[in-house]
């Protein structure tokens, strides 16, 4: 792949950007107030930059590749990933397969379809409470007539890091020779329960029995949140195997499936990583097929990939992006086109790099109250035995690669938005904590430890009894669900895996099975205590990230008039665009169509701020294909760079 672009093409980009805005869709609004163009958004919240497939790189010296963005302009990488999460894809981007709203995916009976596919043009179609954030709340059709409630993914990076770390802690307990998988003899020598601490001295959680059901053969009986696959004597995946048989399979490996409510005993949930949580719904709901060598980067064949650019291992034993890349163009994109619609590499490996980066760093929920109120609320949950499953606190361990010890990746985020209640102003405010060290123009992540407070889950599946019983489309019964993290629960609506609880108290009253003892304590306590608990849960909230008053420059205060690129942007707040290598310069004061002067947050320097003039990110003809991948860089061809 060429790392530079013909210099003669670069001046064309500015003209093409201006000319192309007239036909842009409503979700892509890059023009300024008073321009006479239809694609204006004075709030600045819409996607400003045109769709350009991102180019995956591992060399941070290649300007405009994803490694360069991560190390040289990480806040821009975050914003580009944010925009991919919320962008409304168009027909010219290849959205949807041959049919819209068709049934797809088998259920346990092998015949009934479980999901309505090809029915969303954007992740924000379901993850939209609050809108323009990593929210949730929408109940969509899946598995049963009551559907599934979309989870929010605030703090998604923390969830993923804890899942991968928990898996590593389990391997450290069971995998005696530390080769990354569990042999039959290692399983036989293990304890019958695998207890893992959430943090040093913290709650211990039993994640099930790692022993095989028949001694040296059979299946392990891990908690249902784990998905298991079976391996040969060298630890390589045996795709069709269903147990250890001592003939073709001699051990097993596993993943923690952190995303999804659960699909029944033996079926775990949906996605084990944030990256899979991107390409899988893009395919299922939007018909957008991702080409992702990072997902499949498994040189030893054990079903676990090398870490992605963001640092997360993937699990190709169970989750492979749909565009395999069997027919690669010499310039590096896939010509496979599995859905045969003529649109190639609808989602690129680089797109997934950026989307994963946003999810890794997505800010976490907050508590809308004082520290004293928080501690009192947690104590009430302890008394009601809620914390036996809704475990409040965890710890991400610092990076470590000590021999014969857990190999932790550390906190892989590059920033944390610390959001707390300010009693004086009676509002939530934030502070940007930088989790990196600057070395020249490089941003190097610290990979340290992090104390996770207020998560409220054990990351396990439990039998919740009749109250949460589901009979799916095909008639199968499921009562086993993942413990919902309670952070953000106060901003929910509806609640429950099926979205059928319209109040938090109703969701509590549905707790049967393993939750029955806690529900009994709830029913036996006083109305005053119940009111206190509901008030506490109601303060575990989400918030609008981009309007949150926040100290982003580290001076210890929230400025009333925050200056960015010579423009007054109003009260200081967290907007990644202010933190780009080339900060976005807002339009500022402008007359609206009524002649009233407003402050417009449309961008004056979108091309420079968003890196659209960088060698690997420029797209002279605005067809979505970067010039380095485009056989006709000055002629629009949305399908492959040449053809429309």
CB 589 within 8 A of CB 597: yes
Contacts of 467 (CB under 8 A, 6+ apart): 509, 510, 511, 512, 513, 515
Given a cut of 90, whether residue 264 has pLDDT beyond it is yes
Residue range 342-368, pLDDT digits in tens: 999 999 999 999 999 999 999 999 999
- 8-state DSSP, 251: E
Average pLDDT over residues 48-65: 98
Contacts of 214 (CB under 8 A, 6+ apart): none
Coil, helix or strand for 415? strand
Q: Which domains does the chain possess?
A: 366-545 (1.10.760)
Average pLDDT over residues 110-114: 94
CB 157 within 8 A of CB 409: no
429: left (phi over 0), alpha (psi -120 to 50) or beta: beta
Given a cut of 70, whether residue 247 has pLDDT beyond it is yes
Residue range 571-608, pLDDT digits in tens: 999 999 999 999 999 999 999 999 999 999 999 999 99
Task: Report the percentage of the chain scoring pLDDT > 90.
Answer: 94
Q: Sorting pLDDT into bands at 50, 70 and 90, what band is 561?
A: very high
Given a cut of 70, whether residue 25 has pLDDT beyond it is no
Predicted confidence at residue 13, as pLDDT, reads 40
Predicted confidence at residue 626, as pLDDT, reads 98
d(CA 223, CA 171): 15
Mean pLDDT across the chain: 94
Residue range 169-218, pLDDT digits in tens: 999 999 999 999 999 999 999 999 999 999 999 999 999 999 999 999 99
CB 142 within 8 A of CB 149: no
Average pLDDT over residues 478-495: 96
Predicted confidence at residue 11, as pLDDT, reads 38
Axis crossing angle, helix 156-174 with helix 274-286, rounded to the nearest 10: 120
**Is pLDDT larger for residue 220 or for residue 18?**
220
d(CA 445, CA 448): 9
Instruction: Record the pTM.
Output: 0.96
**Is pLDDT larger for residue 15 or for residue 390?**
390
d(CA 121, CA 282): 9
Residue range 521-538, pLDDT digits in tens: 999 999 999 999 999 999
Given a cut of 50, whether residue 17 has pLDDT beyond it is no
Residue range 431-449, pLDDT digits in tens: 999 999 999 999 999 999 9
| Tokens found for residue 254 | 């596993």
Residue range 391-446, pLDDT digits in tens: 999 999 999 988 888 999 999 999 999 999 999 999 999 999 999 999 999 999 99
Average pLDDT over residues 16-32: 57
Average pLDDT over residues 117-141: 94
Given a cut of 80, whether residue 20 has pLDDT beyond it is no
Given a cut of 60, whether residue 26 has pLDDT beyond it is no
Predicted confidence at residue 74, as pLDDT, reads 98
Predicted confidence at residue 405, as pLDDT, reads 83
């Amino acid at each position: 792949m060429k790392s530079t672009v013909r210099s003669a093409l670069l001046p064309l980009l500015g003209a093409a950007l201006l000319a192309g805005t007239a036909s842009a869709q409503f979700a892509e609004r890059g023009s300024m107030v008073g321009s006479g163009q239809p694609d204006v958004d004075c709030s600045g919240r819409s996607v400003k930059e045109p769709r350009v497939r991102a180019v995956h790189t591992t060399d941070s010296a290649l300007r405009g590749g994803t490694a360069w963005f991560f190390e040289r302009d990480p806040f821009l990488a975050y914003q580009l990933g944010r925009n991919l999460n919320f962008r409304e894809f168009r027909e010219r981007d290849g959205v949807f397969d041959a049919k819209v709203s068709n049934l797809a995916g088998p259920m346990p009976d092998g015949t009934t379809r479980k999901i309505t596919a090809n029915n969303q043009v954007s992740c924000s179609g379901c993850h939209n409470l609050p809108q323009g954030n990593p929210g949730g709340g929408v109940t969509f059709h899946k598995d049963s007539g009551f559907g599934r409630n979309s989870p929010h993914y605030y703090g998604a990076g923390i969830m993923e890091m804890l899942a991968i770390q928990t898996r590593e802690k389990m391997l450290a307990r069971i995998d005696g020779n530390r080769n990354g998988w569990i042999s039959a003899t290692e399983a036989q020598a293990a304890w019958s329960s695998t207890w893992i601490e959430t943090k040093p001295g913290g709650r211990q959680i039993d994640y099930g029995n790692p022993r095989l059901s028949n001694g040296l053969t059979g299946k392990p009986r891990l908690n249902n949140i784990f998905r298991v696959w079976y391996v040969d004597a060298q630890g390589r995946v045996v795709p069709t195997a269903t147990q250890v048989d001592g003939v073709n399979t001699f051990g097993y490996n596993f993943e923690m499936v952190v995303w999804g409510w659960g699909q029944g005993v033996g079926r775990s949930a949906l996605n084990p990583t944030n990256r899979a949580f991107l390409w899988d719904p893009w395919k299922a709901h939007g018909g957008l097929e991702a080409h992702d060598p990072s997902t499949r980067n498994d040189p030893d064949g054990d079903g676990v990939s090398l870490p992605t650019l963001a640092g997360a291992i993937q699990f190709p034993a169970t989750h492979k992006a749909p565009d395999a890349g069997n027919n690669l163009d010499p310039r590096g994109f896939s010509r496979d086109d599995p859905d045969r619609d003529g649109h190639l590499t609808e989602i690129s490996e680089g797109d997934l790099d950026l989307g994963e980066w946003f999810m890794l760093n997505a800010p976490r929920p907050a508590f809308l109250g004082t520290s004293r109120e928080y501690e009192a609320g947690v104590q009430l949950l302890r008394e009601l035995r809620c914390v036996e499953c809704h475990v409040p606190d965890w710890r991400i361990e610092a990076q470590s690669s000590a021999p014969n010890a857990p190999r932790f990746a550390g906190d892989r985020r590059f920033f944390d938005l610390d959001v707390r209640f300010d009693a004086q102003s009676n509002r939530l405010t934030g502070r940007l904590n930088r989790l990196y060290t600057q070395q020249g123009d490089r941003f190097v992540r610290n990979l340290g430890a992090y104390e996770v407070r207020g998560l409220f889950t054990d990351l396990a599946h439990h039998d919740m009894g009749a109250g949460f019983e589901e009979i799916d489309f095909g008639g199968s019964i499921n009562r086993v669900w993942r413990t919902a993290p309670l952070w953000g629960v106060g901003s929910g609506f509806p609640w429950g895996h099926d979205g059928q609880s319209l109040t938090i108290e109703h969701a509590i009253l549905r707790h049967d099975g393993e939750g029955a003892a806690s529900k009994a304590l709830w029913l036996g306590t006083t109305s005053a205590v119940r009111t206190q608990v509901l008030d506490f849960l109601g303060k575990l909230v989400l918030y609008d990230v981009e309007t949150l008053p926040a100290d982003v420059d580290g001076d210890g205060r929230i400025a009333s008039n925050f200056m960015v690129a010579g423009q007054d942007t109003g009260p200081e707040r967290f907007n990644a665009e202010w933190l780009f290598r080339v900060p976005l310069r807002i339009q500022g004061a402008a007359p609206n169509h009524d002649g009233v002067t407003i402050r417009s947050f449309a961008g004056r320097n979108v091309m420079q701020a968003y890196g659209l003039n960088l060698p690997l990110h420029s797209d002279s003809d605005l067809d979505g294909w970067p010039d380095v991948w485009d056989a006709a860089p000055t002629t629009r061809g949305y399908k492959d760079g040449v053809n429309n």
